[in-house]
A and B are shown apart, each in its own frame.
Chain A
Amino acid sequence: MISLASDNLLGTVFGVYLARAKDEEIRKIKVASGGAVTALLTYALEKGIVDGVVTAKRIKGLEGQAIVAHDKKELLEAAGNKWSIVPFAARMKAKIEEENLQRVALVCLPCQAQFFGQMRDFPLLETDFGERIKYIISLFCMGTFAFEAFLNYLRMKYGIKAEQIKDIALKKDFLEIIYDDTTLALPIEEVYSYLQAGCLVCTDYTGTWSDISAGFVESEPGWTVLIARNPRAEELIKNAEKEGYLELKEGSHVIGEVLKKAREKLARAQQNMMYLL
C-alpha cells in the first residue's frame, strides 16, 4: 500500500492493483482490458452486495444509454469503452427510482463520479439519492467526443457510418476505429478537436471522487489497473479475489504511468484554459 498526499493529482490512493477476470467468458470479450471491472461487478451482483449496476451501454454508433444491469449477461452487453457522455444523471435517477434499487454501483466517468461523489458526501437536496449509491467506479478518461460532430467527420472523411462502428479503442497515440471487419487508426491529434470543449479543460484523469478508479496502462496489456480509494473499496477488491472472481497482483509500480497520463491531461487543461477562460 502506498499513500499519496490528498491534494495529489490522483486523489486519495489507498491501494493500487493490477487485476483481470478469472472468468474466461469475460476475458474473451474484454481481451485488451482484462475485464476486471466486469468481474468485480459480477461478484458484487452475484453475492448481493449491490442490487443493480447502473452503466452506459452503446446503442448505436457512439451513442450511449443508461441501463441497469442485474447479472453478468447484462453487464457483458454493456461492456466496452465509452466515448460519449450520456445525460446520465436524470435517467439514472429515474432508473434507480423505477426499480427501487437500494444499493447500486455506478460505472461512470470522472466528471460523473465527481457529481455523484459530491451528491453522496454532501446531499444538498432532498431529492438526492446519494445514500443509495454504494460504489462509484470511475474509468480513466482522456475526454469524451461531441459524438455527432465526430461521426459526421468519420462519414465525410472516411465514409464510415455510425452503425458500422463496432468499437473504438485507444492504442498509444492512435485512436483505432473498428468498423465492419477493418480497423482505422487515426492519430490522436487529428481527433482532438472533436472532444467536447469541457473535456479539454478537465484536470481529472482517474476520477478522484470515486471509490475505485479503473483503467489500463500500456506496459501491462491484458490487465486492468484498479485504484482503491478507501478501505471499503479495498475490501471489495480483496473479497472478489478470495471468491475467485478476480486475479490480482500488486500494482504500485504502474502508478507512475497513470500519473504521467494525469499530468498530460492536466497540461492539456492548463493550455486550453488559457484559450478558453
Chain B
Amino acid sequence: MGEYLQIDELCRVAGEAKLVLYHENGEVKQANLIATAPVRGFEKLVIGKNPLFAVEAVMRICGLCHSSHGNAAAEAIENALGILPPRNGLLIREALGLVNRIQSHILQLVMIAGDFIIEEKRMEVIFKLMALHGKISDYLLKLGGAATHPPYLTVGGLLKVPKWSVFNNLKARLPELKSLWAEIMPYLLDEGYLTEIAMELKEKKFTPEYLASHMFYGDEYNVSPDAVKTVPYWDYKGENEDIAKEATTQVAFYKGKAVEVGPRARMVVYRSFRDNSLFGIHLARVEEITIALERLEEILDQINMNEPFRTQNIIFGPGRGVGVYEAPRGTLFHYVELGEEGRIQNFKIVVPTMFNIPIMEEAAVGLSIQAAEAVMRLYDPCIPCTTHVVELR
C-alpha cells in the first residue's frame, strides 16, 4: 500500500501521539493517528468518591478544556440528582465554558500557526495570540477562581460568587478584548499571510456527517446520548495494523457512524456556515471566538446579583445521569451513576477527539504529507482527554 512514514512525535498537538502514514509519491493513502499518552484512568479513580471531588478531579483530565469537563460532570451529577441550578449558576457556568473555549481555540491557533502562517509573520501572530490568551484567562480567574481548573465550578452552580464590581470590571474590559481580537483576525485569514499548506486545504472539500448539541452550552435533548458507542483503537483498525496496538485511546461512533464534532459541526448545525473545505474548520474556529465574545457580553449583562448562584440544600443520593456539553473540540458526554450516599458508582466519559479520530484519518487521504500532518492539528486533537476514557457497556 505504498510507502510507510512514521512521525514518532507529532508536535504542536496537545499530548503525545504518533502519526503513521502510507503514501504513494507523497500523496497520502492512509493515515493512522496513534495516541501514546499513558492512561491515567480518571473514570476509575473517582469511583467511591464524593461527587464534589469528582468535579475537581475530572477537570484535571485536561489542562486545555478543564471547564468543559467540569461543566459536563456537574451537569451529569445534577441530572442524576434531579436538580437544576438557578439561572445565575447556569449563566456563569456557560460563561466559564465560553472563556475556556476561547482559551483553547487560541492555543490551537498558536499551534497551527506553524502550518498556516508564513514564517515571516509567524512569531508576531503567536505573540499577539498569547497576549489575548493572557487577557481572556483573567476572565476565568475572576469568574471561576483560577485560570486553569476553576475551583468555583461545582455541583449545583457556583461555589463562590464574585463581587458585583468584578462583573462590572469584566464587562468594561470586553470592548478592548474584542478590538484586540479584531486586530488579530486578518493575520489568520488573509491570503497574503497564509502558506501553501493552507491553500491546499482550501481546495480540499470534505463533508462528513456532523454532530453538535448546542451552539454554546450543550443540550442532552438535542442528541441521543445512548447512541454513542466506543471501541478500542486496535479493534477499529483491525488486527493487521501492528502499530495500532500501541494506541492508548478509543474511538467513538454516533448511531454507528463516524461523525465530525467541533467548531465546524456547531457552526453548520446552529449557524448558516457553508464552507465545506478542510480550511473551513479553521474559519469556523476563528468565527466561533468572535461569537463567543459576543455571547460572553450578553451573559455578563444578564447576571442578577439579587438572585442565588447555587442550588440550596442539595441532597445526595443514588441516581443516573448524563451531561452533554459542547467543549472547544466538540460534543463531550459524561455519564454518571451515583450509589449510596450519592457517591460515584460508575463514571464514563466520551470526549470529542474520540469522535474525530476516524474523521481526521479519513480527511488526510489524498493530501500531501505536510498537509496531512496539518490536518491532525486542524482538528485539534486532545490526547490527554482521549486516553482517559472507558469502554461503554
Contacts and interface: CB of A to CB of B under 8 A. Distances in A.
Interface of A: 97-98, 100, 125-127
Given A126-B141, A127-B141, A98 B163 contact: yes
A126 B148 contact: yes
B145 interface: yes
Contacts of B137: 126
Interface SS majority for chain B: loop
Contacts of A125: 146
13 contacts: A97-B163, A98-B163, A98-B165, A100-B165, A125-B146, A126-B137, A126-B141, A126-B146, A126-B147, A126-B148, A127-B141, A127-B145, A127-B146
Contacts, number: 13
Contacts of B163: 97-98
A69 B145 CA distance: 27
Interface SS majority for chain A: loop
Nearest to A97: B163
Interface residues of B, number: 8
Contacts of B148: 126
A91 to B, nearest CB: 15
A158 B137 CA distance: 57
A127 B163 CA distance: 15
Contacts of B145: 127
A99 to B, nearest CB: 10
A175 B302 CA distance: 58
Nearest to A98: B163
B156 to A, nearest CB: 22
Contacts of A98: 163, 165
A171 to B, nearest CB: 45
A78 to B, nearest CB: 25
A263 to B, nearest CB: 42
A125 B148 CA distance: 10
Interface string B295-326: 00000000000000000000000000000000
Contacts of B165: 98, 100
Interface in B18-39: none
A127 to B, nearest CB: 6
A126 B147 CA distance: 6
A127 B148 CA distance: 11
A235 B145 CA distance: 36
Nearest to B151: A127
A87 B145 CA distance: 20
Nearest to A94: B163
Given A125-B146, A126-B148, A127-B145, 10 more contacts: A97-B163, A98-B163, A98-B165, A100-B165, A126-B137, A126-B141, A126-B146, A126-B147, A127-B141, A127-B146
